[in-house]
C-alpha cells in the first residue's frame, strides 16, 4: 500500500475509519479526492459538533425577545423601537496559539462577518482571552501582546468599537491560549436576513477577496485536534486577515441589503466555500452548482479541492435573482469589492462542484450537513485532581492589607487599561460606558434607550465544580448587566474544553452544559447562538473547562446607565444579595497555591434573582449612585475597585463572618447612594476620605491601591 | 451652512463627523471618487483609514479625485478640517506642514486626553477661551507630530499651533506637544484628537463641539461680512 491509498488519506484528513466506511455506504461508492476533502471538513468536530450536538439540545433557546436562534450565522433579539441586535461569540483558539496576531485578527474578522451576514451592522466587539502566567512565561507575554495587537489591528481598522472583554491568566492555558471574540450588530428588525438559499435558477455570487491557499484544512487540522509538537508547521493553516477588504465588504453587503438586492447571504468561515454552499443549500432545501473555474484566485494552478476548502478571509456568498445581478455588480464595483457569479441554485439535493462545466464532485446535501455521526460522550468524574496546584505566591503571614494589595496587583484582577487602551471603544458614537467605567458596556440606541453587554467566564471555578462554575458564569454576566440597569434579553456562549473523548473532559462538558442550562432557565435568559471549541489540550493536559458567556440586555434610559465607582462622599454603602462566600476556587486560594478543587457555594436562584432585580431597579431609578458585583477577590477587592474607579475612599464594617477575600460571584453587589435611599438594604459603611478602611481588617490609601492595581499589566505588556 | 465629510474606502469616523457637524449645521458625505464638492461651505477629512493605509497613513488618499477639489477649495480659502487620518492626509497633500510618525510606543493608543488651546481665535478655535482645556479622545498608531526644529520655531512664531496636549497628556511623543496645527492662512486645521467624539455628554465630553461651533460662527460672520 502506498501512502496515498484511500485508507490512509482519510485519516490524514481527520476522519476515522468508521466515518469513512459510513461515507462510502451513504454514497454507494468511494468519494473522489475533492469530495473527500469537502467531507473531511464538514464532518470535522469544528463544523459538525459531533461530540457536543446532543448535549447542546439541553440548552433553552426560546424566549419572548428572540428573533433568530441557534443555527443562523448569529442569533438576534428584539431590543424595541423596531430594532434588532444580532450577536454571537466564537473561538479562534488554535490558530492564535500557532500565530497569535493573525489568529486573533481573523477571529475578529470572522465574527464580524457572522453578524453582517444576518444583515446587522456590527456595532461592538468584546473579547474573552486566556493565557498562561504573564509574569513567569515569555510565551504567555508573547501571545498576550500579539493577540491584543491583532484584535486591535482588525477592530480599530474596520471602525467597530471594542467595548469590553475579560482576560484571565492560568497555567493551564500556557500552550493552548483562548481567543474568543464576540460581536454585536444592529439592524432594523425587518432587515434581518437568513442564509437559506432559495429559488432554483437564482445565481450564486461570491463577494470579496481572492481565494488563496491560506487556511486550507484549518477546521480539521487545527481546530479539531489537540495542540502538540510541530505546530509551527501548521502556520500555513492560519488565515491572514485584511481589515480594509472586510471594511469594504461590510459596507457593500449592508448596502446590498438596504437595497433589497439579495435573496440570502452567508459568510465564508471554517471550511470556506464547502461549508457556505452546503449550509445555504441545506437550509433552503435546494441544491447548488458551484463552478470553481469562476472563482477569482490569488495564485494560479489551485486545484478544485483547494478552492473548495480554502479559508481565505473577507469573502461572502450570496444568492441573487438573475435580473438583479447587474445591480449587485454595480454596488460591489463602487465598494471596490469583487462580485463573481460562480454558480446557481438548482432543484434537487446535490451540491455539485464543477470545473469548467464538468463535475468534479457530486454530494448529497444531507451527507454533507446531516449525516455525520453524532457521538455520545462517556462522562466520568476524574478519580484524582486534573490540575496541578499553582505555585504559591504568598508566604501565609500577610496582613489583610498586604493580601488586598497582592490581589489588586495579581494578573487576574489588576487594571486592564494597558490592554483596552489599544482598542478604539468610541467609534460609531454609541458608547455610553467605556471599559472599566462600569460592570458592563453600554451603547445608546436611537430614541434614548440603550443596550448593555458583558462577557464572563472564570475557568478556575468551573475546574473546581463544572456545573456550579458554569452556572456562576451566567449569574455573574447577568449581575454585570444589572449593575448598569439592564435586563438580559439573550445569551451567547463559547464552550472551550479539552478532548471530549477523554472521560473527565466529557464529564466537565456535560456538567457545565447542565449548569448553563439551569442558570439560563432560572434567570429566564434564552441562548440564541454560540460555538463549541474542543480539543483545547497540550501535551501536559487540558485547559480549565472554560464556558464563556456573553449576555445582551436593554435599559430604557441611556442617561441613567450605572457606574461602578463610588460617586459622592457621604453616600451610604450597602451589600445587596445573598452572600455566603467561600475561598474555594478564589483568587486568594490560587495565590496561596491551592489546587482548584471542591464544591462552590450554592446558589439560591430566587434570592439572587431578587437581588439582580433590586440593583437593576436601583440604577434605573437613580436611587443608587453606583453598583458593582462582588466577584474575584471578594468584597474587599470589590470595595477597592469602587474606590479606585471613583477616586474616593470608604469606611465599612463587614457583616459578621464574611471573609473579605472569599468569593461567590454573580449573587451580591456593592452599591452606594444617599443614606435615606439605602435604608432597606444591609448598609455596611460610607463613602469618603482618601483611604479604604475595613474595620478590624485593613486601611489602605486609594493611591496605594491604585498603584498596585495599575502597574502589573503595564510592566508585562 | 453645509459641511461636507469626505468618505474614502476605509473611513471609520465619517458618520461620527457627519453627526457632529449636523449639531451646528447641515452636513453631507462626499464620495472619494467624486470631484464635485456639492457646494459645501467647509470640508471635513475624517478619521479612520483611507485605502487601508498600507503604504503610509494618508499617502494614497492624497491622490483621490475628491482631494484635488479639496486642495483647490483650501487654496481658495475654504475651511478644511482634518481629523486623525484626515490630518495625515492633509500633511501628505502638503496642505499642512510637518509629518505624522508612528507613536513612540509603536502601538495604537486610545485615551481621553486634555488639550490646551494655544490660540483662541480664528475659524477653528474662535469659540474657545485662551488657555482653555478641552477633554477630547485620541486614538491612533501614527500621530507623533514631527517637523524640523526651524519649522517648529516658525510654526510657534506664526501662531499656527492651535492645540497642544496639556502637560502629562502627550500620548504619542509629538514634538512640542503639538496636537493640532493650521496652515499659514489659517483656513486648514489638522489635529490628531477626535473632536467629533466629544460632542455628546452621554458618550464623553462636549468639548469637541467648540471646534465645530467655531467653524459655524466663522462662516456665519463671513456671510454677514459680505
Contact A426 B19 (CB under 8 A): no
Question: Is A428's CB within 8 Å of B137's CB?
Answer: no
Residue A379 has pLDDT above 60, yes or no: yes
Q: Are A689 and A651 in contact (CB under 8 A)?
A: yes
Active site residue A153: no
Measure in Å the smallest separation between the Cα of B207 and chain A Cα atoms: 15
Task: Kindly report which listed range (A204-218, B58-72, B188-202) carries the lowest average pLDDT score.
Answer: A204-218
Average pLDDT value for residue range B169-188 = 98
Q: How confident is the model at residue A711, as a pLDDT? A: 83
Q: CB-based contacts of A661: which residues, under 8 Å, 6+ apart?
A: A403, A404, A407, A583, A586, A587, A588, A633, A634, A636, A637
The alpha carbons of chain B give a radius of gyration, in whole angstroms, of 16
Tell me the nearest-neighbour CA distance from A122 into chain B, angstroms: 12
Asked if B16 has any chain A CB less than 8 Å from its own CB, the reply is: yes
* Active-site residue identified among B91, B128, B169, B196: B196
Task: For chain A, list residues whose CB is within 8 angstroms of any CB belonging to chain B.
Answer: 149, 152-153, 156-159, 242-244, 247-248, 335-336, 420-432, 444, 558-559
CA distance A426 to A665: 29
pLDDT score for A235: 54
Cα dihedral A258, A260, A262, A263 sign:
positive
Q: What is the ipTM of this complex?
A: 0.96
Q: How does the average pLDDT of chain A come out, rounded?
A: 93
Q: Is B122 on the interface with A (CB under 8 A)?
A: no
Q: Please write the tens of the pLDDT for every residue from A409-460.
A: 999 999 999 999 999 999 999 999 999 999 999 999 999 999 999 999 999 9
pLDDT (average), residues A131-147: 96
Residues in A touching B10 (Cβ below 8 Å): 157, 244, 247-248
Task: Give the domain ranges of chain B.
Answer: 2-225
Judge: domain B2-225, CATH 1.10.3720.10: no
Share of chain A above pLDDT 70, in %: 96
Distance CA A114, CA A152 (A): 19
Check pLDDT > 50 for residue A1: no
Percent of all residues in chain A with a pLDDT value above 90, rounded to a whole number: 87
Q: What residues pair up with A290 in beta bridges, in sequence order?
A: A343, A353
When pLDDT is cut at 50, 70 and 90, the band that residue A4 belongs to is: very low
8 Å CB contact of A422 and B137: no
Indicate if the pLDDT at residue A480 is higher than 90. yes
Between A67 and B224, the more confident residue is A67
Sign, CA torsion A334/A339/A344/A350 = negative
Catalytic residue among A10, A51, A65, A92: A92
Under 8 Å between Cβ of A469 and A15:
no
* Residue A98 per-residue DSSP state: H
Is the pLDDT confidence value at A2 over 50?
no
pLDDT tens-digit map of B111-163: 999 999 999 999 999 999 998 999 999 999 999 999 999 999 999 999 999 99
pLDDT of residue A195: 85
Per-chain mean pLDDT for chain B: 95
Cβ of A429 within 8 Å of Cβ of B203? The answer is yes
pLDDT, average across residues A583-590: 97
Rounded CA gap, A118 and A183, in Å? 12
**H or E, element range at A669:** strand A669-673
**Helix/strand/coil (H, E, C) string of A233-286?**
HHHHHCCCCCHHHHHHHHHHHHHHHHCCCCCEEEECCCCHHHHHHHHHHHHHCC
Q: What is the per-residue burial (b if ≥16 Cβ within 10 Å, else e) of A489-509?
A: bbbbbbbbbbbbebebbbbbb
Out of B9, B49, B108, whose CB is closest to A422?
B108
Cα(A88)–Cα(A86) distance, integer angstroms: 7
Our answer to whether residue B38 is catalytic in this structure is no
Comparing CB atoms, the residue among A247, A420, A429 nearest residue B19 is: A429
Of B13, B52, B107, the CB nearest to A427: B13
Whether A3 has a pLDDT exceeding 50, the answer reads: no
Mean predicted confidence (pLDDT) in B161-180: 98
Dihedral of the CA atoms B216, B219, B223, B226 (nearest 10)?
160
Tell me the mean pLDDT in the region B97-117. Answer: 97
**Which H or E run contains A402?**
helix A400-408
Mutation target among A156, A208, A449, A559 for the B interface, most CBs of B within 10 A? A156
Contact B203 A432 (CB under 8 A): yes
How many other CB atoms are there within 10 angstroms of residue A466's CB atom? Answer: 27
**If you count residue pairs, one on A and one on B, with CB atoms under 8 Å apart, how many are there?**
76
- Strands A650-652, A682-687: pairing kind: antiparallel
Distance CA A608, CA A661 (A): 20
**A230 pLDDT more than 90:** no
> Angle A605-620/A466-484 helices, nearest 10 degrees?
20
Using 50, 70 and 90 to split pLDDT, how confident is the model at B55? confident
Residue among B169, B194, B197, B218 flagged as catalytic: B194
**Beta partners for residue B161, in sequence order:** B181
B105 touching A, CB under 8 A? no
Q: Is residue B90 predicted with pLDDT exceeding 50? A: yes
B32 is catalytic: no
pLDDT class of A46 with cuts at 50, 70, 90: confident
Share of chain B above pLDDT 70, in %: 98
**What interhelical angle do A503-523 and A605-620 show, nearest 10?**
50
B9 touching chain A per CB within 8 A: yes
Q: Do B10 and A157 touch (CB under 8 A)?
A: yes
Output the pLDDT for position A504.
95
Catalytic residue among A46, A94, A504, A612: A46
Distance from C-alpha of A432 to C-alpha of A424, rounded to nearest angstrom = 14
Shortest alpha-carbon distance between residue B226 and chain A (Å): 37
Chain-centroid distance, C-alpha A504: 24
Superfamily for domain range A31-56+192-376: PurM-like C-terminal domain (3.90.650.10)
pLDDT in tens, A261-299: 999 999 998 889 999 999 999 999 999 999 999 999 998
Question: Which three three-digit cell numbers place residue A296?
Answer: 477569482
3-state secondary structure of A437: coil
pLDDT for residue A380: 96
β-strand pairing of B99-101 with B144-146: antiparallel
Amino acid at each position: 500500500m502506498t501512502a496515498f491509498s484511500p485508507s490512509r488519506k482519510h485519516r490524514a484528513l481527520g476522519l476515522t475509519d468508521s466515518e469513512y466506511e459510513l461515507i462510502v455506504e451513504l454514497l454507494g461508492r468511494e468519494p473522489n479526492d475533492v469530495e473527500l476533502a469537502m467531507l473531511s471538513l464538514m464532518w470535522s468536530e469544528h463544523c459538525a459538533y459531533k461530540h457536543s450536538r446532543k448535549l447542546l439540545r439541553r440548552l433553552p433557546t426560546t424566549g419572548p425577545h428572540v428573533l433568530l436562534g441557534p443555527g443562523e450565522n448569529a442569533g438576534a433579539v428584539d431590543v424595541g423601537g423596531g430594532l434588532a441586535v444580532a450577536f454571537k461569540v466564537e473561538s479562534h483558539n488554535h490558530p492564535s496559539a500557532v500565530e497569535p496576531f493573525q489568529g486573533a485578527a481573523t477571529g475578529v474578522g470572522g465574527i464580524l462577518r457572522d453578524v453582517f451576514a444576518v444583515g446587522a451592522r456590527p456595532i461592538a466587539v468584546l473579547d474573552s482571552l486566556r493565557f498562561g502566567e504573564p509574569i513567569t512565561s515569555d510565551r504567555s507575554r508573547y501571545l498576550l501582546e500579539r493577540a491584543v495587537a491583532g484584535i486591535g489591528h482588525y477592530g480599530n481598522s474596520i471602525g467597530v468599537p471594542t467595548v469590553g472583554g475579560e482576560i484571565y491568566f492560568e497555567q493551564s492555558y500556557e500552550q493552548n491560549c483562548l481567543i474568543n471574540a464576540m460581536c454585536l450588530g444592529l439592524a432594523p428588525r425587518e432587515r434581518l436576513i437568513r442564509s437559506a438559499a432559495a429559488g432554483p435558477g437564482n445565481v450564486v455570487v461570491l463577494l470579496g477577496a481572492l481565494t488563496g491557499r491560506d487556511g486550507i484544512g484549518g477546521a480539521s487540522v487545527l481546530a479539531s485536534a489537540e495542540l502538540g509538537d510541530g505546530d509551527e508547521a501548521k502556520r500555513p493553516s492560519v488565515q491572514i486577515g485584511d481589515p480594509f477588504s472586510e471594511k469594504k465588504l461590510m459596507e457593500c453587503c449592508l448596502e446590498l441589503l438596504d437595497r433589497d438586492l439579495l435573496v440570502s447571504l452567508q459568510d465564508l468561515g471554517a471550511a470556506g466555500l464547502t461549508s457556505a454552499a452546503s449550509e445555504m443549500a441545506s437550509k433552503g432545501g435546494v441544491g447548488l452548482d458551484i463552478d470553481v473555474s469562476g472563482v477569482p484566485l490569488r495564485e494560479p494552478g489551485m486545484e478544485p479541492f483547494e478552492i473548495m476548502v480554502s479559508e481565505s478571509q473577507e469573502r461572502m456568498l450570496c444568492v441573487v435573482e438573475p435580473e438583479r445581478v447587474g445591480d449587485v455588480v454595480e454596488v460591489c464595483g463602487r465598494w471596490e469589492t469583487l462580485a463573481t457569479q460562480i454558480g446557481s441554485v438548482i432543484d434537487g439535493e446535490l451540491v455539485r462542484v464543477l470545473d469548467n462545466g464538468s463535475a468534479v464532485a457530486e454530494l448529497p446535501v444531507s451527507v454533507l450537513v446531516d449525516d455525520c455521526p453524532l457521538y455520545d460522550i462517556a462522562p466520568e468524574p476524574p478519580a484524582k485532581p486534573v490540575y496541578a496546584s499553582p505555585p504559591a505566591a504568598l508566604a501565609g503571614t500577610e496582613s489583610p492589607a498586604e493580601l488586598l494589595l497582592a490581589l489588586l496587583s495579581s494578573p487576574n484582577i489588576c487594571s486592564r487599561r494597558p490592554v483596552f487602551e489599544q482598542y478604539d471603544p468610541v467609534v460609531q458614537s454609541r458608547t455610553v460606558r467605556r471599559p472599566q467605567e462600569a460592570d458592563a458596556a453600554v451603547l445608546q440606541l436611537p430614541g434614548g434607550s440603550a443596550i448593555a453587554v458583558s462577557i464572563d467566564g472564570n475557568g478556575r471555578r468551573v475546574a473546581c465544580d463544572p456545573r456550579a462554575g458554569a452556572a456562576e458564569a451566567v449569574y455573574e454576566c447577568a449581575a454585570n448587566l444589572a449593575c448598569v440597569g439592564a435586563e438580559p434579553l439573550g445569551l451567547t456562549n463559547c464552550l472551550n474544553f479539552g478532548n471530549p473523548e477523554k472521560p473527565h473532559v466529557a464529564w466537565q462538558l456535560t456538567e457545565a452544559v447542565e449548569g448553563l442550562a439551569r442558570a439560563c432557565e432560572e434567570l429566564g435568559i434564552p441562548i440564541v447562538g454560540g460555538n463549541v471549541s474542543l480539543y483545547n489540550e497540550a501535551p501536559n493536559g487540558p485547559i480549565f473547562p472554560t464556558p464563556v458567556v456573553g449576555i445582551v440586555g436593554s435599559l430604557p434610559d441611556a442617561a441613567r446607565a450605572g457606574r461602578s465607582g463610588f460617586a459622592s462622599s457621604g453616600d451610604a454603602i450597602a451589600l445587596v444579595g445573598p452572600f455566603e462566600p467561600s475561598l474555594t476556587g478564589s483568587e486568594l486560594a490560587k495565590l496561596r497555591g491551592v489546587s482548584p478543587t471542591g464544591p462552590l457555594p450554592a446558589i439560591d436562584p430566587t434570592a439572587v434573582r431578587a437581588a439582580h432585580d433590586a440593583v437593576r431597579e436601583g440604577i434605573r431609578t437613580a436611587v443608587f449612585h453606583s453598583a458593582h458585583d462582588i466577584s474575584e477577590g471578594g468584597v474587599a477587592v470589590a470595595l477597592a475597585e469602587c474606590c479606585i474607579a471613583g477616586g474616593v475612599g470608604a469606611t465599612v464594617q463587614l457583616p459578621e463572618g464574611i471573609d473579605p477575600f472569599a468569593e461567590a460571584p454573580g449573587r451580591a453587589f456593592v452599591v452606594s447612594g444617599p443614606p435615606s435611599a439605602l435604608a432597606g438594604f444591609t448598609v455596611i459603611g460610607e463613602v469618603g476620605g482618601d483611604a479604604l478602611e475595613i474595620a478590624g481588617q485593613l486601611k489602605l490609601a486609594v493611591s496605594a491601591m491604585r498603584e498596585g492595581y495599575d502597574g502589573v499589566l503595564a510592566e508585562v505588556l | 451652512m453645509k459641511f461636507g465629510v469626505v468618505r474614502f474606502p476605509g473611513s471609520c469616523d465619517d458618520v461620527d463627523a457627519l453627526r457632529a457637524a449636523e449639531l451646528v449645521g447641515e452636513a453631507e458625505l462626499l464620495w472619494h471618487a467624486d470631484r464635485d464638492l456639492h457646494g459645501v461651505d467647509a470640508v471635513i477629512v475624517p478619521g479612520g483609514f483611507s485605502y487601508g493605509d498600507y503604504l503610509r497613513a494618508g499617502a494614497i488618499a492624497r491622490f483621490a479625485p475628491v482631494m484635488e477639489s479639496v486642495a483647490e477649495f483650501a487654496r481658495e480659502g475654504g475651511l478644511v478640517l482634518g481629523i486623525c487620518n484626515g490630518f495625515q492626509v492633509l500633511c501628505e497633500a502638503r496642505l499642512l506642514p510637518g509629518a505624522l510618525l508612528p507613536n513612540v510606543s509603536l502601538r495604537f493608543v486610545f485615551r481621553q486626553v486634555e488639550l490646551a488651546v494655544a490660540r483662541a481665535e480664528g475659524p477653528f478655535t474662535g469659540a474657545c477661551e485662551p488657555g482653555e482645556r478641552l477633554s477630547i479622545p485620541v486614538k491612533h498608531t501614527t500621530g507623533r507630530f514631527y517637523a524640523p526644529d526651524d519649522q517648529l520655531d516658525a510654526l510657534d512664531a506664526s501662531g499656527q499651533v492651535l492645540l497642544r496636549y496639556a502637560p502629562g497628556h502627550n500620548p504619542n511623543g509629538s514634538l512640542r506637544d503639538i496636537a493640532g496645527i493650521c496652515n499659514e492662512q489659517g483656513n486648514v486645521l489638522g489635529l490628531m484628537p477626535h473632536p467629533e467624539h466629544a460632542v455628546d455628554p452621554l458618550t464623553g465630553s462636549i468639548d469637541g463641539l467648540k471646534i465645530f461651533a467655531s467653524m459655524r460662527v466663522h462662516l456665519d460672520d463671513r456671510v454677514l461680512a459680505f
